[in-house]
Structure 1
């Protein structure tokens, strides 16, 4: 499958006249909980020619492709670097993906270092807290267990962000291993609920998620509110065109 994915990414490069600098898996496969029916959620960062950046016409900053099991989205490098300055949670997760299809090593190292050392943990925590709340509300309204699963995952991310010295990860098994609130049984249960393989007993899990969010909100003010240095980002971009 990797060769098929690489071949398709090369096709996208030709069609859109871009160079892909980084491509990774997102979603359930990146979280380590995929099934045989799981989609391939591929995310990538690309760069265009200098001529296109200097054009009087606006540069399209995304590439999207969805068909069947493929859910593919790419960001132009300028879009990605601007979002890096804002500690974007999606970019944060891309840098932590355990499944990487393509990479320009210097960019990969720079983005990873920025996401780990300079992204605002306070901004990231606020995102995952709000994500949990939204999914809990959606679960309460619609009753779909996919929302409970998403609330569970974002709760684990909040717990990871508030633990001093915790290694950053998006793999659910690793997040569970470092958790003081959730267990392997909780992970198994929420996945069984999501895929319709368990009964509807979820009150204990719901209580743990609610307690996790309440604790995370107490911790928010103590987390650093940092911002990536624009100079390093800008210099890297200039170097791509020999400037």
Structure 2
């Protein structure tokens, strides 16, 4: 599976492909999933946005039985253009069952460099069976609140707007804990008022042609939308645990053992 939009620089994409191939060869791992994260996948890139490739890797089964396990993160050189690194499947599974929204988002990125859909679907099925909605909701609530508390800028506002849209999506999808990754889809699927969506679209368009959005106030309608979603999202702070921890751990172990045996 590959889903790389034409808007991405072909030379940069080729270098990402090269790095992924090198990681597999040098570290002896399989990479069943590699996607773009960051502002490009979130739906609001700037002209100078870097590339944030994230990948999941699986080691040979015997290496998971070692008394001296290898690192669960693989990194490639970081520079102004490239931020390419990945997580071991074991690390990813542990984070997913804890409700880590970052790991969950990687499974729903709209930009895929290389991927096995069956692998992604199995991991999403595990998430569906184990993730606490409240954990995901708390993640977006607290991330958004931190962004609101920091220095004000239009660029930073996007990092509050997307969590707010994710909270709205969770509100309108009470049976799911896996929101989409990108802001336009969150707004479209979150039954957001048309004037809010239009204001967000205009701000996204402005960011797409501006190298750096500095000081300035966001549209009032978006400011109010963000505050309203954070207020509504406070329910996740006190929501009770719905899943049995023992059952969750058993499901995670069963999935992981099958994946490293059959993958």
What TM-score do the two structures reach when normalised by structure 2? 0.78
Q: Tell me, in whole angstroms, the C-alpha distance in 2 between the residues paired with 1:27 and 1:9.
A: 18
Are residue 161 (structure 1) and residue 170 (structure 2) matched? yes
More divergent stretch after superposition (122-131 vs 159-168): 159-168
The answer to whether the 8 Å contact 2:16/2:84 transfers is: no
Root-mean-square deviation over aligned CA pairs: 2.9
Are residue 60 (structure 1) and residue 76 (structure 2) matched? no
Long gaps (5+) in structure 1: none
Q: Deviations over 1:70-96 (max 9, x none)?
A: 111211111111112211111110111
**Corresponding position of 2:216:** 200
Aligned length: 239
Are residue 76 (structure 1) and residue 69 (structure 2) matched? no
Q: How much has 1:201 moved relative to structure 2?
A: 3.4
Q: Tell me, in whole angstroms, the C-alpha distance in 2 between the residues paired with 1:98 and 1:8.
A: 20
More divergent stretch after superposition (209-218 vs 196-205): 196-205
Are residue 89 (structure 1) and residue 104 (structure 2) matched? no
2:94 match: secondary structure: helix
Which of the residues 228, 233, 251 maps onto 1:216?
233
**Corresponding position of 1:13:** 24
**Corresponding position of 2:183:** 172
Superposed counterparts of 1:221-236, under 5 Å: 225-226=242-243, 229-236=248-255
The answer to whether the 8 Å contact 2:34/2:114 transfers is: yes
Q: Tell me, in whole angstroms, the C-alpha distance in 2 between the residues paired with 1:114 and 1:22.
A: 16
